[in-house]
Amino acid sequence: MTVDRFSLGGSTNSVAYRVPKWRVPDLILLVVVLLVNLPVYFLPPFERQFYVNDLTISHPYALHQRVDDTMLFFYSLVLPCGVICAVWSLLCDRRHRWYVLYVSLLGLFLSIFTTSLLTNFLKNWFGRLRPDFIDRCQPRPNLPINVLLHASEACTNDNKDVLLEGFRTTPSGHASESFAGLGYLYLWLCGQLLTEHAQVGLWRKFVAAIPLLGASLIALSRTQDYRHHFVDILIGSIIGYISAYVFYRKNFPPIANQVPFKPLLDDSDVTFDIAPNGSIYNGNNTNYRPVRAQPVDEEMGHIDTTNTTL
């Protein structure tokens, strides 16, 4: 028995297949990711052995972080949502505005929460020690040096949450989630602002890249607080940006596409054209009238202005 490749045995009469533009399976996936995320985070991490005289994990434990979890949630999710809604309200054509907002936010949420799930799983699986682990551990006095020890035999800290967090350093969640959210916003702004178009100013690319600068600063702040090693934020940043790219491209064409702001499954008649005379037509101007390029009289060296309109 051969299973249909498109439906994989499911009913082609369902909403998911009759109206694919609304990405119903992706919406269901988002709900599943949200439900699984929390229990995965609270799984006990692998407790790796350590040396009490290891200087790479002997930095002080910072009580106040430069970017705490609440601030990370705001910068990586709330802020991108706000910017998307603001730009959407200014630029989006009414013929497809609500669909653009739906797929834009769906991609953003999938990018962030899928990245968070993967990051939390890897953190617990690796069990690598944070730079401030010894301060979290509060080791017993007179322990032998250059001898591998377990936390159960070396640490005196009764706060198990703080101690176990010390085994969750790779990859950096702040780095991965900030690049998943702000990296997605960068790609989305590039598409909406036509940054790759030859006839627009370079300043648009600079504006679109501001979220990437913010994500980089958030990631680097984790080394300043001694919460992560540099390799942690590097791995986290790569995971986050790849996730942002994958989920952005699931719904939108490449940012260098002729119509980069229009979702892939958008069935509206919104388009974007360049008129032959160099003027821009974005589908909103009903008075647009294409103009034929003006031919040059090679003998006289001037422009022939006769019969130039269609």
Q: What digits encode the pLDDT tens for the residues 202-217?
A: 999 999 999 999 999 9
DSSP at 55: G
DSSP at 75: I
In whole angstroms, what separates CA 199 from the centre of its chain?
A: 27
* pLDDT tens digits for range 103-148: 999 999 999 999 999 999 999 999 999 999 999 999 999 999 999 9
Q: With 0-12 CB in 10 A as exposed, 13-18 as middle and 19+ as buried, what is 17?
A: middle
CB proximity list for 111: less than 8 A, separation 6 or greater: 180, 181, 183, 184, 243, 244, 246, 247, 248
* pLDDT tens digits for range 65-95: 999 999 999 999 999 999 999 999 999 999 9
How far is 137 from 167, CA to CA, in rounded Å? 11
Percent helix, strand, coil in the chain, to 5, is: 50, 5, 45
The active-site residue out of 197, 228, 229, 302 is 228
Query: What pLDDT is attached to residue 273?
Result: 65
Cross-strand pairs, 50: 149
Query: What pLDDT is attached to residue 277?
Result: 52
Query: What pLDDT is attached to residue 308?
Result: 38
Reduced to 3 states (helix: H, G, I; strand: E, B; else coil), residue 20 is: helix
Cβ atoms of 60 and 135 within 8 Å: the answer is yes
Identify whether 229 is a catalytic site residue.
no
Identify whether 96 is a catalytic site residue.
no
Question: Which residues of the chain fall short of a pLDDT of 70?
Answer: 1, 9, 11-12, 14-17, 273-310
The dihedral region occupied by 197, where left means phi > 0, alpha psi between -120 and 50, and beta the remainder, is: beta
DSSP at 147: S
The active-site residue out of 64, 96, 150, 174 is 174
